Amino acid sequence: MERRTFLKTSLATSAFSAVNPAFAHTIVLPDYDVPTQYEPREVDLLTQLEPWEVHVDPAQFALFWTLPDNKAIRYTVGVGRPGLYEDGEFYVARKHEWPSWTPTPDMIRREPEKYLQYADGVSGGLDNPLGARALYLYTPERGDTYLRIHGTSDVSTLARRVSNGCARLINTHLVDLYNRVPVDSRVVLYPVNQEVRILTTENELVVVDQG
């Protein structure tokens, strides 16, 4: 079975429905119309990386879940808007299915007309800004950084700089990643510039809107 076919089959069987423990019913994820070039796929790495880590390369709008034998699964992501993206090294301290969401004080201060109405939080569900799953990024020094790797239903936000600093995947892709990544996994967010930090045998750079 080809790698792309294998991954699409895996997504279809594991990601399209998930039980929300906060609800008494099953939430079924829609069949998102994702462009072929944005579908997850296994790639061969030219950059040497340790297995079982998350690496986000914003120049490619790519998130890599690294595997043994210098391979990785490549997902397409949206990243933080200019001035909000934060690079560095983190770890996954918590994971939640159908997470609730509350805007940070900084978000409310920047855009009160947009976020103040949600100051008391939003319960989990398809309309929640964190989507179907969330990985919570911490550092030993700061604790919770308020950065998340999370889901979205909006395909148009993939491969763009649109978020409040977090990395977002389409919900079905995020569920697949969530099921692979354990708590305490290392996460590296590379600097946001035009330099490709992680090379693969595909040697690709997706040309997309940088706005």
Question: CB atoms < 10 A from the CB of 113, how many?
Answer: 7
Pick from 129, 84, 127, 126: nearest CA to 109: 84
Looking up tokens 């996460």 gives 187
SS3 at position 153: coil
Q: Which of 25, 55, 96, 166 is catalytic?
A: 166
Q: Which two tokens stand for residue 6?
A: 């294998």
Q: Which residues of 166-177 are buried (b: 16+ CB within 10 A; e: fewer)?
A: bbbbbbbbbbbb
Pick from 179, 141, 145, 135: nearest CA to 40: 179
Active site residue 150: yes
Active site residues: 150, 166
